[in-house]
Amino acid sequence: MEIIVNCPRCGEPFIKTKDRKICPKCFKEEEDKFGKVKDYLYSNPLASMVEVVRETGVEEKLVMRWLQDGRLIPVKKGNISYPCRNCGELISTGKFCRKCASRYYDLIQKEVGKMKQVTASVADPFASELKNEMEGMV
């Protein structure tokens, strides 16, 4: 289903898709900025975030989003960094530091285990009934 919305950047109407949250014109502008940052980092692999923003004119929040999304990967850890979304530790890729990511992973695994137990306990009475019915047919 096509949804027509106004672009959050320029206000122009466009057809929103799962992959596109901005209009084609703004998307192209953003991709041009990405190319500029990528080229700058290729030529200056040890540049800091301040240098990248100053030399390319691209907003820091865009550079950070590309880093978080994994589109940009710094050559050397620490030259471009930003805070973990949970604890504030400086990181150079992703949204969480290793410690917080590990903690969230453990929590998710624990919840998955609980869900499996609930599913098994709910399904077990039905399995017993089915088994009894099958034995009665033989």
Give the pLDDT confidence of 51-75 residue by residue, as tens digits: 999 999 999 999 989 988 888 887 7
Whether residues 51 and 76 share a domain: the answer is yes
Whether residues 101 and 86 share a domain: the answer is no
Number of domains composing the chain? 2
- For residue 4, the cross-strand partners are 15
Whether residues 86 and 119 share a domain: the answer is no
Helix/strand/coil (H, E, C) string of 73-111?
Answer: CCCCCCCCCEECCCCCCEECCCCCCHHHHHHHHHHHHHH
Q: What is the pTM of this model?
A: 0.66
What was the pLDDT predicted at 51? Answer: 93
Its domain, for residue 126, covers 97-138
Whether residues 90 and 115 share a domain: the answer is no
- DSSP class of residue 69 equals T
